[in-house]
Chain A
């Protein structure tokens, strides 16, 4: 009962923040609302008993990606374009399309009987995650590391100032 109330509050906050991300004119405020929605998703992870993932979400999304987005906003002075309309010309049609997609998704998700198991997550989940990353899932792990190094070098090269 209490859990459900908390879930509803957190979900409303997250969805509200996400909506404000898309609808706010001031880009810096959008970035802050984005960070708030990341927090909301982290809270939802805690409700799902995935605490490690929740902390990783805060660490990477809020601590790094949101900061990066704010940096980019500051460096490109993105919030100062008055007179330019916020949405492009097709905003009404896209709204209808997205609402349709949302409706279809929700109908699908509530109608299908998903296989639910009553088991509980293992107590040594973090140890198992570590073992999974160097065991069965070592290839995605290494590929992700290679991707990160490539992205790092690429981002530095692209954003460098040409003298």
Chain B
């Protein structure tokens, strides 16, 4: 049997990698990719806990499916925003979106 903590460690690593991507990359699409990695890590956590702590219920998987749904909706809207941004300002660099600053 694979111990539960192994799955949780993998999820933690995945989350940290995604977090690094979100905080450090300049390209908006790369930031979105980091967000998707974080959501995947969260889902992995949920399913691991479902399997090891409550397999007779389906709550864990229901939660995971709702998270996947929300991630899909958020990716769609985020990418639409990025495309609109590119069309207006010819850039997808998050550091150049500062017209509201100051």
> Is A–B contact present in the complex under a CB 8 A cutoff?
yes
Give the docked Cα–Cα distance between A73 and B34 (Å). Answer: 15
Chain A contact patch, size range: 35 or more
Any A CB within 8 A of the CB of B97? no
Bound together, the chains give a CA A162 to CA B80 distance in angstroms of: 14
Q: Which residues of A contact B80 (CB under 8 A)?
A: 154-156, 158-159
Q: Which residues of B contact A64 (CB under 8 A)?
A: 72
- Name the interface residues of B1-42: CB closer than 8 Å to any CB of A: 1-2, 4-10, 12-21, 23-27, 29-30, 32-34, 36-37, 40
A86 adjacent to B58 (CB under 8 Å): no
Q: Is the CB of B50 within 8 A of A65?
A: no
Scan residues 27-78 of chain B and give those whose CB is less than 8 A from a CB of chain A.
27, 29-30, 32-34, 36-37, 40, 43-44, 47-56, 58-59, 61-62, 64-66, 68-77
B26 → chain A closest CB, angstroms: 6
- What is the bound-complex CA distance between A85 and B20, given in angstroms? 16
Chain B: CB-nearest residue to A73: B29
Interface residues of A (CB under 8 A from B): 3-4, 7, 11, 14-15, 18-19, 21-22, 27, 30-31, 34, 37-38, 41, 44-45, 47-50, 52-53, 56-57, 60-61, 64-65, 68-69, 71-73, 75-78, 81, 84-88, 90-91, 94-95, 98-99, 101-102, 105-106, 109-110, 114-117, 119-122, 125, 128-129, 132-133, 137, 140-141, 144, 147-148, 150-152, 154-156, 158-159, 161
B interface residues with partner A (beta carbon < 8 Å)? 1-2, 4-10, 12-21, 23-27, 29-30, 32-34, 36-37, 40, 43-44, 47-56, 58-59, 61-62, 64-66, 68-77, 79-84, 86-87, 92-93, 95
